Amino acid sequence: MSLCVDLLSACVFLQGAGQDVGRSCILVSIGGKNIMLDCGMHMGYNDDRRFPDFSYVTQNGRLTDFLDCVIISHFHLDHCGALPYMSEMVGYDGPIYMTHPTKAICPILLEDFRKITVDKKGETNFFTSQMIKDCMKKVVPLNLHQTVQVDDELEIKAYYAGHVLGAAMVYIKVGSESVVYTGDYNMTPDRHLGAAWIDKCRPDILISESTYATTIRDSKRCRERDFLKKVHESIERGGKVLIPVFALGRAQELCILLETFWERMNLKAPIYFSTGMTEKANHYYKLFITWTNQKIRKTFVQRNMFEFKHIKAFDRSYADNPGPMVVFATPGMLHAGQSLQIFKKWAGNEKNMVIMPGYCVQGTIGHKILNGQRKLEMEGRATLDVKLQVEYMSFSAHADAKGIMQLIRMAEPRNMLLVHGEAAKMEFLKGKIEQEFSIDCYMPANGETVTVKTNPSVPVDMSVNLLKREMALGGPLPDPKKPRSMHGTLIMKESSLKLVSSEQALKELGLNEHQLRFTCRVPLQDPHSDSETLHRIYTHLKSLLKGYTIQHLPDGTVMVESIVIKVSSSAEDANAKILLLSWSYQDEDLGSFLSSVLKKGLPKM
């Protein structure tokens, strides 16, 4: 058996998310464990490229055998959209970890998306409702800061990420190696969420998103002001404002924004939220209020921020009501349903406005009008003239460059890995990080593997006696110029490593001690009596050796540490002295040194 200290390495393989904002899916191998971080879908593709390519793993066997666990950071589909595909169609039966709100909301979004893809677009080869349900059964909920022991060696811990309700960053640890994956996060509190936070966990690798790698955020407040200004202007001139949204996430933030604005400005125009999901969605926010920001949590008993006074349920007949109004309607990309119906009704009037608060998939009406298309072909060969104003506003909550740097300062990683961003922006940030923190920064592309060498220390159990002795000898402050070295014996038995004093090691292993001693006679010419000679030796050594215990004992010996020196004179010549040095092997260096010093004789008086 030998002491095993390989230079272990953590290895990160990118399925998605590398230099691309499309879909996130990262494989991490650390300390012999394989973990999948997020399992996202690319909203921009309709073919196989939509889902991550699992063949890298499955060519060598089943996913379940390869992966130790899957961790989902938050409910956005670019982070969890491929989950049912992965677990039910490719096949994975191991644990899937996500926070409670993510567990609650993610199946709803998956089902929504499934309906759009399968029912509306008629696509096949997609997961079914039942698969979503079966997949969710494999989910183990995570609480913030709880250390979850996936198995004996692998532990994970979730931190608040702020990005959306229930978003989490995750710390993964195997032995003394660790990785932090941020998912999407936000370092500044917004209207309904708090700021991301992590402790100084010093991971070997920090994997961070970098969506806004080059932006320094002044912008969010400005965008909000912009948004409110546009809505207000439109209302003032009697126009109707349509805001297509998905039921969860951004919708609630915009509702809070409008609600407070209406309150402050004392506006009377009605705000509606399209039926169905509204109540339900807001209910999630009420029940998971502990995941929102400090302010909302503090006041929720008096006033729940998600009980809106000005925002009422929408009825389809309201669309024809005269006068201004604001309507939030689903779905968010204007590809079907209520938002599309309302859009058709209002599109012809230039006083009206549609505000697209999020990303639109190619082929949807949302995507077309955002690209400036003004004539839309509808079913039945009818065309629709788009006269209303079209606005795009991004409200997604991501960390900006400053935020990313702040997180690095918080976590103090040894290596940095950027994902989920555009190559050029990432390059800029990489430079900044390497310069400021002097750590290595990687930015792999999709399908690339990054291997980072970690260099773990070896934990051993040191006997308290030995430790205390050393600490007492070492004094309170170590002297960097004179490092004190300690000596002990490491006993390796099965998987245990114990460091004990050599004496204790002998005892524990049942071994006998073997004393090795040396005795050396050194002739010396010194015209003094024996005892005077001895004293001269004493003073000589005393002046020569600092920091050693030197004793002149009454029984006619000088002791340097445990080395014994005696003097005798020969019968013939009283001046010819014989010095007798005796030392044990433990003092070999000192003993040998002394004998060579004494051979040179004593200094003249």
Partner 1 sequence: MKLYCLSGHPTLPCNVLKFKSTTIMLDCGLDTTSVLNFLPLPLVHSPRLSKLPGWISKDGTINLEKELKECAGRVFVDSQPEFCLPEKELLDLSTIDVILISNYHCMMALPYITEHTGFTGTVYATEPTLQIGRLLMEELVNFMERVPKAQSATSWKNKDMQRLLPGPLKDAVDVWTWKRCYGIQEVNSALSRVQLVGYSQKVELFGAVQVSPLSSGYSLGSSNWIIQSHHEKVAYVSGSSLLTTHPQPMDQSSLKNSDVLILTGLTQMPTANPDGMLGEFCSNLAMTIRAGGNVLVPCYSSGVIYDLLECLYQFIDSANLGTTPFYFISPVANSSLEFSQIFAEWLCHNKQTKVYLPEPPFPHAELIQTNKLKHYPSIHGDFSSDFRQPCVVFTGHPSLRFGDVVHFMELWGKSGLNTIIFTEPDFSYLDALAPYQPLAMKCVYCPIDTRLNFHQVAKLLKEVQPLHVVCPEQYTQPPMTQSHRSDLMLELQPPPMPYRRCSVLNLPFRRRYERVYILPELAHSLVPTEVKPGVSIATVSAVLHSKDNKHTLQSVPKPPPVPPTKKRKRVMEEPPVAPKPLLSGAVPLEAFLATLQMHGITEVKVEETADGHILHLQAEDTLIQLEEDGTHIVCDNNEPLRTTLRDLVLRFLQKL
- Interacting positions 536-555 with partner 1 (CB under 8 A): 544, 547-548
- Rounded to the nearest whole angstrom, what is the least distance from the CB of residue 413 to partner 1 in the complex? 18
Cα 81 to the center of its chain, rounded Å: 21
- DSSP one-letter code for 465: H
Cβ 103 to partner 1, closest distance in Å? Answer: 7
Q: Is 560 in the site for partner 1 (CB under 8 A)?
A: no
| Residue 391 known to be catalytic | no
According to CB under 8 A, which one of 313, 516, 553, 574 is a site residue for partner 1? 516
What tokens does 380 get?
A: 């039945």
Q: How far is the CB of 203 from partner 1 (least distance, A)?
A: 16
Nearer to partner 1, 289 or 443 (CB): 289
Nearest approach in angstroms of CB 354 to partner 1 is 29
**Is 147 near partner 1 (CB under 8 A)?**
yes
> Distance between CA atoms of 217 and 347, rounded to whole angstroms?
33
Q: For residues 132 and 121, give the distance between their C-alpha atoms in angstroms, rounded to a whole number.
A: 19
Among 126, 518, 535, 550, the residue binding partner 1 under the rule CB under 8 A is: 518
Q: How far is the CB of 301 from partner 1 (least distance, A)?
A: 5
Cα–Cα nearest to 228, from 291, 277, 271, 192: 271
| DSSP assigned state of 318 | G
By CB under 8 A, tell whether 593 contacts partner 1.
yes
313 vs 509, which CB is nearer to partner 1? Answer: 509
Q: Does 284 bind partner 1 (CB under 8 A)?
A: yes
Work out which of 216, 287, 313, 445 binds partner 1, going by CB under 8 A: 287
- Backbone phi and psi for residue 500, each to the nearest 5 degrees, phi listed first: -130, 170
Q: x/- binding map, residues 55-94, to partner 1, per CB under 8 A? A: ----------------------------------------
CB of 151 to partner 1, least distance (A): 14
C-beta separation of 558 from 538 below 8 A? yes
Cβ-based nearer residue to partner 1, 279 or 350: 279
Residue with Cβ nearer partner 1 (394 or 489): 489
Task: Check whether the bond before 444 is cis (ω within 30° of 0).
Answer: no
User: Would you mind telling me the total number of residues written for the chain in this entry?
Assistant: 605
Q: What is the spatial distance between Cα 68 and Cα 34, in angstroms, rounded to a whole number?
A: 5
Among 121, 221, 283, 312, binds partner 1 (CB under 8 A): 283
d(Cα 99, Cα 181) in Å, to the nearest integer?
Answer: 14
Q: Rule CB under 8 A: choose which of 64, 128, 130, 146 binds partner 1.
A: 146
Considering only the C-alpha atoms of the chain, give the largest distance between any 2 of them, rounded to a whole number of Å. 135
Residue in this structure with the two tokens 């250390």, named with its chain if needed = 147
Binding pattern for the stretch 409-448 against partner 1, x by CB under 8 A and - elsewhere: ----------------------------------------
The residue among 49, 165, 46 whose CA lies nearest residue 100 is 165
**Two structure tokens written together for 83:** 């989950």
Under rule CB under 8 A, which residues in 479-508 are in contact with partner 1? 483-494, 498-499, 502-503, 505-506
295: contact with partner 1 by CB under 8 A:
no
Helix axes 100-114, 277-287, angle to 10 degrees: 160
Distance of CA 363 to the CA centre of its chain: 36
Stretches 31-39, 41-49, 80-88, 280-288: which one binds partner 1 (CB under 8 A)? 280-288
- Residue from 123, 153, 155, 209 carrying the catalytic annotation: 209
Of 438, 450, 442, the C-alpha closest to 412 is: 438
For residue 137, state whether it binds partner 1 (rule: CB under 8 A): no
Q: Which two tokens stand for residue 502?
A: 């050599």
**Total of residues contacting partner 1 (CB under 8 A):** 89
CB atoms within 10 A of CB 374: 12
143 binds partner 1 (CB under 8 A): yes
Beta-carbon contacts of 48 under 8 Å, excluding residues fewer than 6 positions away, are none
What mask, x for binding partner 1 by CB under 8 A, covers residues 443 to 482?
------------xxxxxxxxxx--x--xx--x---x----
Which residues are annotated as catalytic? 209
